[in-house]
Amino acid sequence: MFKNIQGPELMIILFIILLLFGAKRMPDMARSLGRSVRILKAETKSDTTKTEEPTKNPEA
């Protein structure tokens, strides 16, 4: 979906975001986005390690 976005289009999108939210809020938004991505990666990593562990048979 976003594979066709190139330099000029990306610059226009970033400029519109800057106009909408202002320069003061942009660092806070980027920081919160980074935290969200970090949390998502940690959760998916912990989920894959949980599924790779052998499951115990509760009936035995």
Say what the pLDDT of residue 1 is: 59
Say what the pLDDT of residue 59 is: 67
Contact 21, 29 (CB under 8 A): yes
Q: Report residue 17 as tokens.
A: 């975001």
| pTM listed for this prediction | 0.52
pLDDT in tens, the chain (60 residues): 567 878 899 899 989 988 998 888 888 988 999 999 999 999 988 877 666 555 566 665
Say what the pLDDT of residue 31 is: 94
Contact 18, 26 (CB under 8 A): yes
Say what the pLDDT of residue 39 is: 94
Residues with Cβ within 8 Å of 21's Cβ and at least 6 positions away in sequence, in order, are 29
Backbone angles phi, psi at 48, to 5 degrees: -70, -35
